[in-house]
Every structure is written in C-alpha cells, then in structure tokens.
Chain A
Amino acid sequence: MQIKDNNIIEIKDLKKSFNSETHALNGVNLSIKKGEVVTIIGPSGSGKSTLLRCMNLMEVPTSGEVVFEGHLLNIKDKNINKLREKMGMVFQSFNLFPHLSVLENITLSPKLVLNTPEQAANILAQSLLEKVGLSEKINTYPNQLSGGQKQRVAIARALAMNPDVMLFDEPTSALDPEMVGEVLSVMRNLANQGMTMVIVTHEMSFAKEVSDRVVFMAEGLIVEQGTPEVIFSKPKEERTKAFLKRVSVL
C-alpha cells in the first residue's frame, strides 16, 4: 500500500448523475491528507453527502476517479471489500443492526471479515465502548438506546475495524439537541488522537473548532476551501458569504 504524497484519499474530476436531470456532482477535485480532519459544509442538495459516499463507493461515480491509499476504487473489483475495511462510515440514521446486541454489532465484522477470535473481539468491543462512554450498555439491544447512544455505538462499531479514515455523513442531524454534544465529544477525541476524518455536517461551531480544513460546496462543485479561520471569518466567494450568513455564523 503506497501512500502517494501523504494523500490518503484523492478525488479527481468526480461527476455523479442520478438520472438525466439530477446532477449531484459536476466535477469535484479533492485530496485528504493523512491525519487531516476535513469538514464539508454547504446548502442541502449541494452534493456533500454524495461526495462523501463516493469515497467508499456507497455511490458509484458516473465519471472521475476515487483513489484510496494509492488504489483506484472500482465497484466491480473484488478488492473493494478489503478496501472498505479500512474506511469506517458513520450514518445519519445510525444503521445499527437491530437484531444484534451492542456487543454483537461491534464484533460482527472483526469476527467475520478479519477472523478475529471471539475473546479478542470481545475485549476490543469493551475497550471501544469505554472510549465512547458506553461500557455498561454492552449487552443491550439498539432499541433500548437513545439516539445519542446509538450513534456512539455506531462510531465504536466503525472503529472496531481499525480504519485508516472515518467518514461521517451528518452524524448529528437526526439527534435531539441535548444528545448532539455527547457525539461531538467522541468525535473531538477521535480527531485529537490523529484519526483522518471527513465530516459532512451542519454543526458550524464544531467544524470551526475541530477541522483542519473546511470545504464549502454548492450545486455539485467545491466553491471554496481553506482553514476554518479563513472560511468562517474571511470567506472569499459571494456564495460562501451568503450561506454562512443564512446559518448565522458570520
């Protein structure tokens, strides 16, 4: 696995259309460096989620390239599963497996895909749950958890595969306000530990605080990107300014 220029993900001229009318991405170029925390913001319909989901081929691009750790991603490639092991994804609607306990949710993939033995997997699960602050919930079922707890378990589940990058698709958008903090706290810790993260979010203050780079998208294109200081205080583009005004950050 070569890492070209320290770029863990490279996206080249990515285009995605869902049908002849809906063009979600109109030629996006983006690189994510190892250890970077990149936040993607923008109005709804701008293509943020689509871009994120193209990174692990949850969406298959219409044209363009996605290169992960030096490998060109191709959905038909048998290798795609192995590459996905190294990319953790956290979803807006959590997507925990309801018929499995929290422990089973976390240990399923390590046991099945990495052939991790039972005991080691359990220990791993326990330590991850401690990290997200939910050790006592190890044997409960998803339907017994609150939204914030579910998302934290989802993060632990993704981390169990020891990924090189974590992709977050609006992780707090479906949460009641009082639970947003606990999830952002976990994400903050993760960032401080040096995890490469790509986050699509509406949480502007969190983005300002945690990101190394902020990317602003609109209508399927990257309009502007830069450090949080630049983007949030001195945005160059009109559209960026208009958006930030609407979400009252400026």
Chain B
Amino acid sequence: MNTQLSFSFLLDWYSVSLLFQGLMMTLILAFLAVVLGSILALVPAFMRLSSNKFLSTPATFYVEIIRGTPMLVQVLLIYQLLNIPLFLIGGMDMGSFIPGLVALLINSSAYISEIIRGGILAVDKGQSEAARSLGLNSKQTMFKIVLPQAIKNIFPALGNEFVTIIKETSIFMYLGVAELMYQVGIIKSSSPAVTELYIVAGLLYLALTFPLSKVMNRIERRLRYADQR
C-alpha cells in the first residue's frame, strides 16, 4: 500500500479556493434545509398529532416514505417530476438546483417533523391538562404552554439533524451544484492524490460539524439549566 501521502495540492491557491467555496455552499444548503425545512415540517407534524384520521394518515405515509427511501432515489424522482428547463442565475443551473433544493427540503421536513412531534409529545401531559382546566382552548394551550416547552426538547435533536443534513448536501454534486464534494470531484480530475484529497474533505466537513455540535451542546445546557424542577 502506498503510504506516502502528498498534500501538495493544498499549496495550489486555486484548489484551496474551490474547496472553501464548496464548503460555504455546503453550509448555505444545509442552513436553508434546516430553516425552511423546520417551517415546512410544522405541517406534517401537526397533521400527525391531529386526532382526525384524514389528516394523520396521509401525513404518516408521507413521513414514513421519505424516511424509508434513499435520498438519491428521491432526488432522481423529483428531478424527473419537476421538469424545469435549464436557465442560469449567477452561473448556477437553476434547472438542477431547484429540483435538488425541493428534494432536500422535502427530505429534511419529514425528518424534522418527527423531531417536532416527538418534542411536543414529550411535554408532560399535566401541562396541557392544567391549561385546559383553566379554560384555555386547544390552540392557546399549544402555543402558550406546550410549544414553548417543546422547543427545549426539539432543539438538541434539531442540532443533530443539522449535522446530518450537512453531510447529505453531497447529493447536490450529481446535479452540478458546487458544494464541497462537487469541488472534490473537480480537483480529483487534475490531481492523482485522491486519498489526500478525501482526507482534506473529511477535515473540512468536521470543521463545520464539530463547532456546530459544540454550539448545540452549549445551548442545550443553557436550556436545561433554566429548567431545574
């Protein structure tokens, strides 16, 4: 096995700039997926929590299908369904980017809806009982009493999801969107140091996920501190 590793491509200004651009795009995509995905996720989350079977059953199907199939399959299918012609914005092929983003959002919203639902269910039943016994209706109970407490449960899991999504953005490389793995592919074509390139890519992903985990831990600890019963 060739154990001599050559990281000389790192000295190439050009390659380094591509990698950092890719890293930034990865972060932007993941951020969009989490933020927009969380908003979208409220719909299936509340549908599943509803006692109305016509709402909860389709929502359950949606979530289970998305969670049970590979992301690549979802991207391929949505790419076919959303037939968007090739047009450029800022050098980016929107005909590929938009289906990719839609697939990413559908995927993240399904996973996040489970996190939200779990967070809401984890709130002690006594809380909503107390609220209802005081005369609050179900909407007031949810928004004033349950959701604020659910957020403490949701946040840590959401942080984990962010880390997962960061890694899943690599699916965009097949669509020609310049995130980190796409740039790795570009550099790979002109450099034989493939192993070294992958090591660097791995470290760059860590540079995103590791601080993120630490930040989430800090926030979680702060929320728990305020919550000593």
Given contacts A91-B126, A95-B127, A112-B144, contact A85 B134 (CB under 8 A): yes
Given contacts A95-B127, A97-B145, contact A58 B133 (CB under 8 A): yes
Q: Is B227 within 8 A of A143, CB to CB?
A: yes
For the complex, is A142 an interface residue (Cβ under 8 Å from B)? yes
Q: Is B148 within 8 A of A91, CB to CB?
A: no
How many Å lie between the Cα of A95 and that of B129 in the bound state?
8
Q: Could you say which of A88, A142, A157 contacts B229, with CB atoms under 8 Å apart?
A: A142
For the complex, is B35 an interface residue (Cβ under 8 Å from A)? no
Q: Is B227 within 8 A of A58, CB to CB?
A: no
Given contacts A98-B149, A109-B134, A157-B134, contact A91 B129 (CB under 8 A): yes
Across the A-B interface, how many residue pairs have beta carbons closer than 8 Å?
64
How many Å lie between the Cα of A113 and that of B137 in the bound state?
9
Q: Is A158 within 8 A of B145, CB to CB?
A: no
**Binary per-residue interface labels of chain A (126-154) against chain B in the complex, 1 for a CB within 8 Å, 0 otherwise:** 00000000000000001100000000001
Chain B contributes a number of interface residues (CB within 8 A of A) equal to: 21
For the complex, is A161 an interface residue (Cβ under 8 Å from B)? yes
Q: Could you say which of B132, B134, B136 contacts A158, with CB atoms under 8 Å apart?
A: B134
Instruction: With both chains docked as a complex, state the minimum distance between the C-beta of B137 and any C-beta of chain A, in angstroms.
Output: 5
For the complex, is B83 an interface residue (Cβ under 8 Å from A)? no
For the complex, is B130 an interface residue (Cβ under 8 Å from A)? yes
How many Å lie between the Cα of A142 and that of B144 in the bound state?
16
Interfacial chain B residues near A93, Cβ < 8 Å: 126
Q: Is B126 within 8 A of A95, CB to CB?
A: yes
For the complex, is A56 an interface residue (Cβ under 8 Å from B)? yes
Q: Is B130 within 8 A of A97, CB to CB?
A: yes
For the complex, is B228 an interface residue (Cβ under 8 Å from A)? yes
Q: Is B133 within 8 A of A88, CB to CB?
A: yes
> Who on chain A is nearest to B128 by CB?
A95
For the complex, is B70 an interface residue (Cβ under 8 Å from A)? no
Instruction: With both chains docked as a complex, state the minimum distance between the C-beta of B104 and any C-beta of chain A, in angstroms.
Output: 33
How many Å lie between the Cα of A58 and that of B145 in the bound state?
17
Instruction: With both chains docked as a complex, state the minimum distance between the C-beta of B173 and any C-beta of chain A, in angstroms.
Output: 43
Give 3 closest A-B pairs by Cβ, nearest first: A85-B135, A95-B130, A89-B133
